[in-house]
Amino acid sequence: MTDTTAARSTHNVDTSEDTPSASIHGWKHLFDGSPGLWLAAVYLLFLAVVALFGPALAPYDPISQNIPNRHAPFSMSHLLGTDEIGRDVASRLMWGARPALLGVVICIVTACAAGIPWGLAAGYLGGRIDQLLMRIVDALLVFPGIILCLVLTTVLGASLTNSMLALGCVYAPSLARVVRSGVLVVRDREFVIITRLYGATAAYRMWRHVLPNAAGPALVKITFLCGSAMLAQTGLSFLGIGIQPPNPSWGQSLAESFRYILVNPGAGIAPGVVVVLTVLSFYRVGDALRDYLAVEA
């Protein structure tokens, strides 16, 4: 988040130069010769399982305190030690997986709900409308996501849902732009023009022919946005804007570890690594999809 989600993701998409995988088809080839991708996929799957069943799997209640046992080191009973009021760090991280992934989902759904129609309209309708819609996209892209998000959450109120809704709105323009370019590629192809001759409505043509062709680039973009959303979400909850205490979240664990950095300097490592692995995995999958689908952003 910090660094521009925009620069990160655009950047990632733009580096598709030298992987000539365009000719490869068939899902089984997606994982060819890429142990990194396997790891990323397995990690995300694991995370999804923890998010769904974490409360049942976690060894301790993430909120129950045990003050005499504060800042306990790694051990068999507390795999990642305990925090400043004796809560089990591993359990808190497991409970934190659910809001983390839920936040990403809320953000992406919002971005799609706003960005896909926006891009379709701009690309398909063209002309003045396209110009106006894209001018707005350009204006919004000038702003770093986190700052727009901070301003929006002031109005909406600090909560996980609100901050991720805001982040979704922030990502919508960049998704709209990708969808628009996908539409422009196919809009004037023969098969679309032919359906028009057969009297298909604009909405039908868009749904049946244009959208599927824009879907590839959009899917790649969305995967990268997942990573960016994860980063942004962690930063926002680090600042105290997001899920509210005592419910655990990864950003909050980082903020708390920083408060006690003098007493327990290692406490920030575990939550930080979990976040970085998640973001890396999303980016890795995004890279692979981009190469597989031979998408030029």
Partner 1 sequence: MAAASVSSIWSVVLHRLMAVIPTVLFGTILIFGLVQIIPGGAAEEAAGPEASAEAIAVLREEMGLNRPLHVQYLSWLGNAIRGDLGRSLTDRRNIAKAITERLPLTIELTVIALILSLLIGIPLGVLSAINRHNRIDAAVTSVSGLGLALPEFWLAMLAVNLFALKLGWFPATGVPSVELGWHEHIQSLVLPSLTLASGAAAAITRFTRSGMLEALSSSYIRTAWALGLSPAQIFFRFALKNALIPLVTVIGIITSSLFGGAVLVESVFVIPGLGTMLVTAVLQKDYPTVQSVALVLTVVFVMISLVVDIGCAVLDPRTRR
Partner 2 sequence: MRQAQWLVRSFFSATLALCAGQSVVQAAAGTNVVNLGVLSEPYTLDPAVGTSGFDYPMLYSIFDRLIDFDPKTLDPRPGLAIAWKFTGADKRTFELKLRRGVKFHDGTPFDAEAVKFNLLRLQESKVLNDLEDVERIDIVDPFTITLRLKHENSSMPILLADRAGMMASPTAIQKLGKDFARNPVGTGAFMFKNWISGQALILEKNPEYWNAKAVRLSGIQFRFIPNATSLASAILSGQLDFAYQIDPKNLGVIRDNPRLRVSKEASTRYYQISWNTSFAPLDNVKVRQAINMSLDRQVLADAILGPGNSGGVALMPLPPESWAYTKKLEGSVKYDPARAKKLLAEAGFPNGVTLKLCATNSVLGYGSDITDIEREQLRPAGITLEVELRQGSACNKAFNVDKNVMSYQVGFSGRPDPFLTFEGNFASTGLFNAGKTKFPGVDEVLAKLAKTYDKKAQKPLYDELNRLWIQQVPKLSLFYAPNYSIYTRDLAGEQPNLMGKINPVTWYFTK
The residues that touch partner 2, with contacts defined as CB under 8 A, are 65, 67, 84-85, 245-246, 258-263
- Find the shortest distance in angstroms from Cβ 183 to partner 2: 40
- Rounded Cα distance between 54 and 185, Å, is 44
- Rounded Cα distance between 23 and 16, Å, is 14
**How long is the chain?**
297
User: Would you give the distance in Å from CA 15 to the centre of its chain?
Assistant: 19
Q: Identify what 10 binds: partner 1, partner 2, none; CB under 5 to 8 Å per kind.
A: partner 1
C-alpha torsion sign, points 65, 68, 72, 77: negative
Angle among Cα 223, 2, 109 to the nearest 5 degrees reads 35
Which structure tokens are listed for 89?
Answer: 């760090």
Give 216 or 268: the residue with its C-beta nearer to partner 2.
268
Give 112 or 231: the residue with its C-beta nearer to partner 1.
231
Which structure tokens are listed for 277?
Answer: 């692995």
CA dihedral 193, 189, 215, 124 (to 10 degrees): -60
Q: Identify what 154 binds: partner 2, partner 1, none; CB under 5 to 8 Å per kind.
A: partner 1
Site residues (CB under 8 A) for partner 1, limited to 123-162: 135-136, 139, 141-147, 150-155, 157-158
Q: Identify what 268 binds: partner 1, partner 2, none; CB under 5 to 8 Å per kind.
A: partner 1
- Report phi then psi at 88, rounded to 5: -75, 120
- Find the shortest distance in angstroms from Cβ 4 to partner 1: 2
Give 211 or 223: the residue with its C-beta nearer to partner 1.
223
DSSP state string for 179-215:
HHHHHHHHHTSHHHHHHHHTT--HHHHIIIIIHHHHH
**Cβ–Cβ < 8 Å for 142, 188:** no
Q: Identify what 153 binds: partner 2, partner 1, none; CB under 5 to 8 Å per kind.
A: partner 1
Q: Is 239 in the site for partner 1 (CB under 8 A)?
A: yes
Query: Of the listed pieces 65-73, 102-110, 194-202, 254-262, which binds partner 1 according to CB under 8 A?
Result: 254-262
Positions in the binding site for partner 1 (CB under 8 A): 1-8, 10-12, 14-15, 17-18, 135-136, 139, 141-147, 150-155, 157-158, 227, 231, 234-235, 238-241, 254, 257-258, 261-262, 265, 268, 272, 275-276, 279-280, 283
